[in-house]
Every structure is written in C-alpha cells, then in structure tokens.
C-alpha cells in the first residue's frame, strides 16, 4: 500500500535551503507551480462527516478520504462538480457514495486557496520515482494573506521504496515532523459557516425522567422547531428533495406530539396549533408527492418492459412541469404573513416559562410516567388492530394500522433517551420492520391511484398520449403485483412484531412502575 | 476486475501503442489500472520509463510467484501501475507447456490483482500458441488492432478459425482499425467490407500518425505530450467506444 506522508512545515522554515540540500543527492525536476482551491463538500445533514469521511475537490480532481486515516479512498477526475451521486460516472466512487448520501445534494462547505510547488525526483531514466510537494494553504487569495497551513508532501511511487525511505529520512533529519490529515481538515472545517453536527433531523433529545411533562414536551417541540427553521431557511435554494422532507417530518412530529402527549398544555393552545400545523403541512403535500415520483423515475422505468420505457417520458415531463408550480406554491406559503405569524406565535409559546399552577391535568406529571402511559397504550392498540387484520383482510385497516404505528414510532423516538438504549433500539427496529411493510403497501396503493388519476390530465398529441397510457397501464399492473407480494408478507411481519418476547420487552420498559 | 487484452497474431499493428494509451486514459478516469507488458521486447515498459525486470524471473511468472506482485511499479501517472516485461518472457510459451493447467496459468497469475485493480490491460506479443490460449483464457475481452490490408484481414481470419477450433468465444473479440491511411482508397474499401463481414468491429479507428511514433521519443502516452493532437483524439475516441461497447454496455 502506497502511503503519502505529510510533513508540517513550521513558520519561518526555509524551503530553499531544504531543496538545495536535496539537490546534492537527487535529480530533481521542478514542475510548474500550481495555484488551486481546495473545496470541502458534504450534505446538508453531514452524512459524509458522520461516517468519518471527507470529500473535497482540488483542481479537477475529486477526492474522498477517511478523516482519521491518511489513505485516499477514491480520487477521480471531474469536469463539473457533481451535485448528486447520480451525476458521477459509473464506477467505484459512485458505488461508495450512493448508499451514504442517497438523494442528498453535495453542498460546498468551505473553500481554501492552495499554492503548491511540485518537485519530481527522477532516476537516471528520467522516470519519476517519488514526488515532493510543497504546499501553502490560505483561507483567502493573495500571497501576503495569512497562511493556514504549510505542508511538504512526500508522495512515493510504487516499486521505488528505497527512494521513499531515503527521502523520508532526509526530511526528518532536516527537522520536519509528520502531520495528520485530521488536524488539517479540522482546521479547514473550522472556517466553514456551519459546524459539523449542527444539523441532524434525527430526534435526539436529552430528557430528565423526573422533569415536568409540560417542560419536557416543550423541549421536544423546540428541537423540532429548530429542524423546521433550518430547512425553511434554505428552502428557496431548492438544494434537494430532503430539505422539504425533513421540514415536513418535523411538522408531522410536532402535530403528533401535540396530539399524543395529552393534557400537558391548555386545550385551546393545543387545538389551535394542531390546526395551524395541519395547514402548513398540507400546503406542501403536492410538492412532496411529485418529488417522490421524480426521485423514482429510474425505478419506474426499470419496472416497464423495454419497449415501453421511452413512452413514459411524457408523464415525467409533465410531472417535472407540475413540480415547478408546486414549488412556487410552497415558497409563497413560507413567505406569507399567515405562516410567519403561526411560527412566531409558536416560538413565543415554546419559550414562555411554565405557569406556576398546572394549566392542564398532566402538566406536572414526571415525563417518564406519561411516556410509559402513552407508549403502552399505543402498543396495545397496534396489537389489537393487527390481530384484527390477520383475521380478515380489509385494506382500510392496514392504513389505520400504519398511522398507529407511526404515532408509536414518534413517541418512542421522542422519549428514547429515557429508556435503556439497547432495549428501546431493538424495539424500534422491530417496529420499523412492520412500518416498512405497511409503508410499502400504502405507497403502492397511493402510486396506483395517482397514476390512474394523472392519466386523465396529461397533455400531448393523440398518438403520443396513447402510447404513454399503455405504459402507465403496464406500470399499474406491475405495482398491483408488487402490492400483493407486500400484502402477503404482512402476516409474518406482524406476527414477529407481536411475538410474546417483544410484548414482554414492551411491558418491561413501559408498564407503569409503582413505588419509584 | 475486467481484463482487456490487446492482442494480434500479426506484428507491427499498433498493439503496444493502443495498450499504453488506453491504459493511460482509463487511469485518468480514476479507474485503478494495471498494464501488463507480456512482450519480451518490453516496449510498453520502455514507454513508461521502467526497467524491464521481473523479480520473479520467467519461471516465477509462469507459476504466479510472489515476486511477480513485488515487481509492479507505479508509472508517472496516478492510478496507473505497470507489471514490467522482462526479456526472459520469451520463454513463456515453453514454460507454460511444462506445467500442468498450462492454458490457464496467466489467468491464475492475475487473480491476486483483482482486489486492487479495476482494469487490467494485457499488452501481448505476437503469438498463436499456448501463450495465445493463456491470453484468451485470461482476458474478458480481446481487442485486435487491424491494419486495413489484405494480409491483416487474412491473419484475423486465421485467429477466428483458431478460436473456433479451440472453442474460444469469438464474440468477445473486437477488431478495430489501426494505422489507417485515409488517403488510400484500398484502406477505405477494406474497412467497409470488414465492418460488413465481421461481427464486433469497433466503430473507431486510429489513423497512421507521426505523433504515435513520437511516443518513443517522449516516452509517454500521446495524450500527455500532445493532448490536442489527432492521435490523442483518436485514442480518446477508441477509449470511449471501449467503455460504451465493452466495459459498460447499455443493455
């Protein structure tokens, strides 16, 4: 394995003296000085950083590396910076990036200026056998600007280990010390406007079990408000589909918290904001639907027989057009006085200190008790509904069960930190399996219906339209078959979820405890 | 890992030039690439300024000994390494026939490279014996440079007949035209008739150009010392055809 070594060059170190010394021992060819930029990228929610990865571009190369190790994972040439993984050419890089960033856009975090002088060490055949690269990094352009870091890179070339060893020895003797990638990239990241982990849509709220329920609920709601605000702030830039998605999930969670963590606030307040957030959520329903169809464009195409694949394009062109309108509709909503007033009132309410006397029945109850109550009740409801579905096969009940599961999931996530982590995570994982099954079923139902509806409003010439309708018909048929498969898998998934061991675990964590 | 051989049973058709340039272009896309110089003349090795020396010796090479893997050298270009040739490789035909499994030894020798390289390009010497069979067994695809002359076409027919007799899959063999003189009427006519009569002919050709010969002076791929030249463009064109038709075919 070839490892580049990076030496830190201290302030005031004479580069010239070093190279004069080396020139006595090696044939050195200086290559032209290169001024460039080093730009760091990550997704809005730091998906790469959270995996200890660093993605940066330097010149026309895009490099992915581990934050804490010195090896480069991928290094490719690019002509236009990819925004999504699907903008990359097929290859290992794309394969590695796809499951990590998924549908998220790569955003520029920070850019620094680099000036580097490469020196090729040549053997008697004038073959490059090692490289030295003297590099200066500045936060802004200009030779007089302060320097963020100075490095001397030793880049060995495979098959020439003697040169590598000798050069490393020379550099150490010249007083240079090895630096780490980690410290460098952290220095660069420190220049970015936002900090790693400054945003995550994942609910992670530290609650004290004995906390008053109204206060604890406000903590949860404040967290969700922060998520809304962060996404709302960049919505106009239309970075990727997940900005809206995270925004909507935060709204859904807020509504769910208001409805489910019962009797912690005055009924009038709860009712008002439940309505307000329902209104805000509804406004972006159409946009989210369109986003999902467009994201799945390729998978829809794959489901079609090859002869029909191009005929569906008309549908997607239409959806694309509709999306532009839907986006503007949401944007107008976010800029409206009504929206701003709701959010401001909400913020004021959340920041208000709790009233001295309880304004609602559960307000002063320790949060852990309320959490146990609510989760237990929800769980029992799911087991009951699910068992009914096992007995007869009504699709409506499946829909109802899906909603119940979602409510339980939100509750468990809000309160996750109150319970032993391993156990609650195991339960969440079980629940997720069931939710995936129900979610798939619901998606397929909705998609089928959507496709049948949209078929009536497609523009296009008669001939074109007929072909597109055939393609849509074929797609509906495929979805129907998939639906049946998912439906058949329900019984097993549910039985797993409602298994005695799982029920025991639920009881253990959430049954009312007396005496503590 | 995909293995791509540049092979012909006729000499002086531009195998090495194509192998060197294609391997460079592949590496430039970020694909970890290894070029194996199987030709005892070691021209590809020379173009990359590497000493023609195998630490394993020819026997070790035939056996797939550790020394083979230690002989790999980095070229002057990122993502591109070379397994250099050695004059002793001239004995390869004889050595292969001495050992058991004589026809798949090359394939086995390349196996350990699979984890490190995405593409291996074999620059092959002129051969139609056991070494040729080793090449056909080791390569996923074989590119055959062909000068549009009657003799070249005749040799290509011989290769196809050889494949048929020995039961090698001829659909994985792709001829492309090399050293084409576009002023010669005969070249044009032959290209037309070959494209019509043979399957798998790549629709891209490399003209006869002085720039290609200058590789010997600059000791580098043409796209390095003459990036805008006709020669560089024709290899780029050939490379994109190889990518779209052979390495990543769409349906």
What percentage of chain B carries pLDDT values higher than 70?
A: 99
- Give the pLDDT of residue A383: 92
Q: Is there a domain that residue B52 lies in?
A: yes
Question: Is residue A379 assigned to a domain?
Answer: yes
Question: Best mutation site among B74, B79, B240, B243 for testing chain A: the one with the most A CBs within 10 Å?
Answer: B74
Average pLDDT of span A378-384: 93
Residues A150 and A219 in one domain: no
Mean pLDDT for the stretch of residues B126-138: 94
A123 and A43 co-located in one domain:
yes
Domain boundaries, position B163 = 2-246
Q: Is A127–B49 a contact, with Cβ atoms under 8 angstroms apart?
A: yes
Residues of A in contact with B72 (CB under 8 A): 158-159
Q: With a cut of 50, say whether residue A373 has pLDDT above it.
A: yes
Same-domain status, A323 and A436: no
Other Cβ atoms closer than 10 A to B11 = 10
Residue with tokens 């086995």: B108
Q: Are strands A149-156 and A5-8 parallel, antiparallel or unpaired?
A: antiparallel
Domain-terminating residue out of A123, A158, A189? A189
Q: How far is A187 from chain B, CA to nearest CA, in Å?
A: 27
A222/A359 same-domain check: yes
- How many domains does the structure of chain B reveal? 1
Q: Which residues touch A312 (CB under 8 Å, ≥6 apart)? A: A300, A301, A304, A468, A471, A472, A475
pLDDT band at residue A516 under the 50/70/90 scheme: very low
- Nearest CA to A202 out of A218, A223, A219, A222 is that of A223
Would A218 be classed as within a structural domain? Answer: yes
How far apart, in whole angstroms, are the C-alpha atoms of residue A127 and residue A144? 36
- CB contact (8 A) between residue A91 and residue B30: yes
Per CB-CB distance under 8 Å, the chain A contacts of B223 are: none
Give the gap in angstroms from C-alpha B167 to the nearest C-alpha of chain A. Answer: 32
Q: Report pLDDT digits (tens) over B105-114.
A: 999 999 999 9
Q: Per-residue pLDDT for A215 more than 60?
A: yes
Contact criterion met (CB below 8 Å) for A318 and A458: yes
List of chain A residues whose C-beta atoms are within 8 Å of the C-beta of residue B219: 126
Structural domain ending residue among the three candidates A300, A335, A365: A365
Residues A284 and A135 in one domain: no
Match 């509806």 to its residue by tokens: A453
User: Is residue A278 located within the same domain as residue A229?
Assistant: yes
The enclosing domain of A232 has a CATH number of: 1.40.20.10
Integer Cα distance of B230 and B68 in angstroms: 36
pLDDT tier for residue A75 given thresholds of 50, 70 and 90: confident
Contact B106, B130 (CB under 8 A): no
Q: Where residue A35 sits, what CATH number does that domain have?
A: 2.40.320
Q: What is the largest CA-CA distance in chain B?
A: 51
Domain with A330, as residue range(s), is: 209-365
pLDDT tens column, B194-223: 999 998 899 999 999 999 999 999 999 999
**Greater pLDDT, A514 or A68:** A68
Query: What band does A378 get if pLDDT is binned at 50, 70 and 90?
Result: very high
Does residue B144 lie within any of the structural domains? yes
Question: What band does A462 get if pLDDT is binned at 50, 70 and 90?
Answer: confident
Confidence at residue A1, expressed as pLDDT on a 0 to 100 scale: 67
Mean pLDDT of all residues in A274-280? 97
Q: pLDDT tens digits for A392-408?
A: 767 788 899 999 999 99
% of chain B residues with pLDDT over 90 = 86
Residues B57-71: tens digit of each pLDDT: 899 999 888 889 999
Look up the ipTM and state it.
Answer: 0.88
CATH number for position B181: 3.40.50.300
Cβ pair A78, A105 in contact under 8 A: no
Count up the domains in chain A and report the number: 3
Do both A374 and A266 map to the same domain? no
A425, A413 contact by CB (below 8 A): no
- Spatial neighbors of A143 by CB under 8 A, at least 6 apart, are A115
The average pLDDT across A91-96 equals 91
Which spans in A357-499 are helix H? 367-391, 395-414, 421-454, 462-497
Output the pLDDT for position A465: 86
Judged against a pLDDT cut of 70, whether residue A252 lies above it is answered with yes
Q: Distance from first CA to last CA of chain B, Å, rounded?
A: 20
How large is the average pLDDT for residues A241-246? 96
- What's the rounded Cα separation, in Å, for the pair A398 and A420? 30
Mean pLDDT of A55-71: 87
Q: Which two tokens stand for residue A84?
A: 């999504």
Q: Is A162 on the interface with B (CB under 8 A)?
A: no
**Same-domain check for residues A111 and A19:** yes
Chain A interface, best mutation among B76, B113, B240, by max A CB count within 10 A: B76
A303 pLDDT more than 70? yes
Is residue B3 within 8 Å of residue B111, measured between CB atoms?
no
Structural contact between residues A150 and A123, judged by C-beta atoms closer than 8 angstroms? no
DSSP states of A97-152 as a string? HHHHHTTPPPEEEEEEEEEEEEEEEE-TT--EEEEEEEEEEESSSSTTSPPSEEEE
Identify the DSSP state of B129: S
Domain identity same for A141 and A288? no
Give the pLDDT confidence score for residue B44 in this predicted structure.
97
Residue A511 has pLDDT above 60, yes or no: yes
Determine, yes or no, domain membership for A203: no
Residues in chain A with CB shorter than 8 Å from the CB of B73 are 157-160
Find chain B residues with C-beta within 8 A of A3's C-beta. Answer: none
The answer, yes or no, to whether residue A441 has pLDDT greater than 70, is: yes
Residues of A in contact with B78 (CB under 8 A): 75
Is B29 close to A77, i.e. CB distance below 8 A?
A: yes
Amino acid A393: pLDDT? 67
> Whole-angstrom distance between the N-terminal and C-terminal Cα of chain A?
59
**What average pLDDT is seen over chain A?**
91
Sign of the CA dihedral with B149 first, then B150, B151, and B154 last: positive
Tens of pLDDT, residue by residue over B155-206, are 999 999 999 999 999 999 999 999 999 899 999 999 999 999 998 899 999 9
**A371 and A357 in a common domain:** no
Q: Would you state the pLDDT for residue B100? A: 83
A177-185 mean pLDDT: 84
* B251 inside domain: no
Tell me what percent of the residues of chain A surpass a pLDDT of 70: 98
Asked if residues B7 and B39 have their Cβ atoms less than 8 Å apart, the reply is: no
| pLDDT for A291 | 95
> Does one domain contain both A176 and A216?
no
Q: Are residues A459 and A315 in the same domain?
A: no
Q: Judge: B248–A90 Cβ closer than 8 Å, yes or no.
A: yes
Helix axes A267-283 and A241-260, enclosed angle (nearest 10): 160
A residues 29-88 lying closer than 8 A (beta carbon) to B: 74-77
CA distance A159 to chain B (A): 4
Read off the pLDDT of residues A97-116 as tens digits, 9 standing for 90 and up. Answer: 999 999 999 999 999 999 99
| pLDDT level of residue A515 (50, 70, 90 thresholds) | very low
**Is residue A204 a part of any domain in this protein?**
no
Q: Does any domain span residue A113?
A: yes
Q: Which of A334, A350, A365 delimits the end of a domain? A: A365
Report the alpha-carbon distance of residue A55 to residue A133 in Å, rounded. Answer: 21
Q: What pLDDT is attached to residue A180? A: 79
């Amino acid at each position: 394995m070839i490892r580049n070594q990076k030496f830190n060059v201290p302030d005031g170190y004479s580069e010239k003296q070093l190279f004069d010394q080396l020139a006595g021992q090696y044939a050195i060819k200086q290559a032209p000085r290169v001024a460039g930029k080093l730009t760091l990228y990550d997704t809005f929610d730091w998906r790469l950083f959270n995996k200890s990865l660093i993605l940066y571009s330097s010149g026309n190369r895009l490099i992915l590396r581990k934050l804490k190790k010195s090896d480069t994972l991928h290094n490719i040439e690019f002509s236009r910076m990819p925004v999504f993984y699907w903008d990359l050419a097929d290859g290992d890089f794309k394969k590695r990036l796809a499951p990590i960033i998924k549908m998220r856009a790569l955003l520029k975090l920070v850019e620094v200026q680099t000036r580097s002088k490469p020196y090729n060490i040549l053997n008697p055949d004038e073959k490059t056998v090692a490289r030295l690269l003297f590099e200066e990094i500045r936060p802004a352009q200009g030779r007089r600007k302060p320097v963020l870091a100075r490095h001397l890179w030793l880049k060995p070339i495979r098959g020439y280990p003697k040169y590598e060893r000798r050069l490393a020895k020379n550099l150490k003797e010249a007083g240079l010390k090895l630096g780490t990638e980690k410290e460098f990239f952290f220095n660069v990241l420190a220049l970015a406007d936002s900090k790693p982990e400054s945003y995550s849509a994942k609910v992670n709220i530290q609650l004290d079990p004995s906390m008053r329920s109204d206060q604890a609920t406000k903590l949860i709601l404040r967290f969700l408000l922060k998520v809304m605000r962060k996404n709302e702030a960049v919505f106009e830039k239309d970075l990727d589909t997940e900005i809206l998605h995270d925004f909507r999930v935060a709204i859904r969670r807020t509504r769910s918290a208001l409805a489910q963590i019962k009797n912690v606030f005055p009924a009038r307040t709860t009712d008002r904001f439940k309505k307000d957030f329902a209104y805000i959520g509804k406004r972006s329903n159409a946009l989210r639907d369109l986003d999902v169809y467009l994201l799945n464009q390729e998978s829809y195409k794959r489901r079609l027989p090859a002869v029909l694949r191009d005929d569906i394009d008309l549908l997607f062109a239409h959806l694309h057009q509709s999306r532009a309108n839907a986006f503007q509709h949401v944007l107008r909503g976010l800029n409206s006085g009504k929206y701003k007033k709701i959010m401001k009132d909400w913020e004021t309410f959340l920041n208000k200190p709790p009233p001295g006397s309880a304004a609602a029945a559960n307000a002063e109850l320790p949060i852990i008790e309320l959490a146990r109550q609510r989760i237990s009740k929800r769980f029992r409801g799911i087991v009951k509904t699910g068992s009914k579905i096992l007995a007869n096969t009504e699709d409506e009940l499946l829909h109802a069960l899906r909603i119940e599961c979602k409510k339980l999931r939100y509750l468990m996530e809000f309160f996750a930190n109150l319970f032993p982590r391993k156990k609650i995570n195991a339960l969440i994982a079980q629940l997720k399996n069931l939710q995936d099954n129900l979610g798939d079923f619901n998606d397929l139902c909705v998609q089928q219906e959507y496709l049948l509806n949209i078929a009536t409003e497609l523009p296009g010439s008669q001939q074109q339209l007929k072909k597109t309708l055939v393609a849509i018909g074929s797609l509906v048929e495929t979805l129907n078959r998939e639906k049946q498969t998912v439906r058949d898998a329900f019984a097993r998934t549910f039985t797993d979820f409602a298994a005695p061991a799982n029920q025991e675990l639920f009881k253990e964590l959430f049954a009312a405890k007396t005496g503590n | 890992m995909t293995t791509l051989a540049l092979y012909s049973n006729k000499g002086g058709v531009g195998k090495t030039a194509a192998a060197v340039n294609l391997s460079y272009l592949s590496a430039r896309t970020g694909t970890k690439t290894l070029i194996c110089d199987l030709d005892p003349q070691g021209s590809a090795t020379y173009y990359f300024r590497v000493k023609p020396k195998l630490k394993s010796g020819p026997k070790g090479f035939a056996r797939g000994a550790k020394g083979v893997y230690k002989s790999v050298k980095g070229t002057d270009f990122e993502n591109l390494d070379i397994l250099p040739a050695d004059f002793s490789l001239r004995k390869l035909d004889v050595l292969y026939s001495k050992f058991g499994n004589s026809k798949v030894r090359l394939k086995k020798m390349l196996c350990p490279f699979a984890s490190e390289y995405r593409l291996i390009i074999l620059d092959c010497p002129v051969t139609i014996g056991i070494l040729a069979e080793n090449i056909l067994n080791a390569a996923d695809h074989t590119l055959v440079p062909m000068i549009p002359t009657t003799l070249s076409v005749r040799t290509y027919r011989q290769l196809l007949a050889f494949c048929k007799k020995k039961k090698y899959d001829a659909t994985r063999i792709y001829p492309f035209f090399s050293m084409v003189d576009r002023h010669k009427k005969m070249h044009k006519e032959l290209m037309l008739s070959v494209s019509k009569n043979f399957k798998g002919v790549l629709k891209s050709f490399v003209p006869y150009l002085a720039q290609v010969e200058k590789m010997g002076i600059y000791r580098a791929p043409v796209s390095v010392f003459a990036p805008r030249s006709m020669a560089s463009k024709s290899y780029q064109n050939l490379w994109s055809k190889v990518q779209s038709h052979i390495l990543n075919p769409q349906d």
